[in-house]
A = this chain, B = another copy of it.
Amino acid sequence: MSATMRDIAEQLGLSVVTVSRALRNYPDISTETKKRVTDLACKMRYRPDQVARSLVTGRTHVWGLIIPDLTHAFFVEISKGVDSVAAPDNHIIIVDSEGDRKKEASEILTLLGRKIDGLIAAPVQETYAGSNFDILDEEGIPYVLVDRLLKRHTANAVVCDNIRIGQMVTEHLIGLGHRRIAHINSPGFEVSRLRQKGYQTALKSHRLPCLAEWIVSGGIDERGGYQAARRILGLQPRPTAIFAINDRAAIGAMKAILEKGLRIPEDVALVGSSNIPNADVLRVPLTSVDQRPWETGRKAAEILRNAIENRRQKNAPQQIVLQPTLIIRDSCGSELPTA
């Protein structure tokens, strides 16, 4: 068993309280005593019991982080950003909501039972009234949403400018001479709705047509992107570019395009989003969008830390919107030879 403060106190003929204060370097303990205490603590390999400490202080120095899928490098980056401010004083418990609203709800409850100091979450899209996060407001546990925003805009949040993503990608393709630009979206995700809006805005502002059949519901995974792309490639006349909601879908689309014997970008230009690892060394290096996941996590963590520190005064919720960057690679091509 590990040593407790009581062990130290007894060996030194002191009270536990004195030991406690000596270890925390209180000014009202003599240097002499402090030294005796810290020396013995060191020798006995004393480590404070955080559980006991938490029970009395009401702080665990544990943060919850709920994300829908850790196999997306995007969320790993967010978690690294969070950890960059959480460490070394706080630990993070990462839980996977698997995109399931029910699971998210129950995970929030179990995290509350653990008395986490705060929570950061990429929320599962809210499809009906009533939020899983309301309970956090009720209990006064600070939280910050990342990547996705809930309908109700009263929470702390750090997101990327999704409209801008759609707009930026589309305008780039337009600038390259494309006139028939398809879009693989994922209805049900607010994020997708916004990117699509940006896409449509860009087309409109350039007075380009935006046919309904060009927008195909695919989903955020490779499989969905593959199927959606196949539908798009069957259209007459064929779109000359595809903007996929994310890189996973884009990779699915890439497979579909190449499988059909078409070339990227010569026959079909392709753009994704989230800038996955190795995007530069794919069969066709993928033009994508840096959504700043690390900064998202870092910023969210800063807001959270602040909220935890000043828990008494309820500050107005902060909403940060980060600006995305287009990462141009081969898959979008350069200017079209024939517009």
Contact = CB atoms under 8 A, between A and B. Distances in A.
A76 interface: yes
Interface in A40-70: 45, 47-52, 54-55, 60, 62, 70
Given A95-B91, A278-B251, A283-B281, A2 B51 contact: no
B51 A60 contact: yes
Contacts of A73: 71, 73
Contacts of A54: 51
A192 to B, nearest CB: 22
A263 to B, nearest CB: 15
Q: Which of A113, A140, A251 has the most chain B CB atoms closer than 10 A to its own CB?
A: A113
Interface string A260-278: 0000000000000000111
Given A52-B55, A93-B93, A283-B283, A70 B79 contact: yes
Given A70-B76, A76-B76, A113 B282 contact: no
Interface residues of A, number: 49
Contacts of A51: 51, 54-55, 60, 114-115
A277 B54 CA distance: 40
Contacts of A79: 70
A134 to B, nearest CB: 12
Contact of A76 (B71, B92, B276): B71
A48 B73 CA distance: 34
Interface in A95-125: 95-96, 106, 109-115
A45 B139 CA distance: 11
Given A2-B139, A47-B113, A50-B114, 19 more contacts: A45-B135, A47-B112, A49-B113, A51-B54, A51-B55, A71-B73, A71-B76, A71-B80, A71-B277, A88-B106, A91-B95, A91-B110, A92-B94, A255-B281, A276-B278, A278-B278, A281-B282, A282-B282, A283-B283
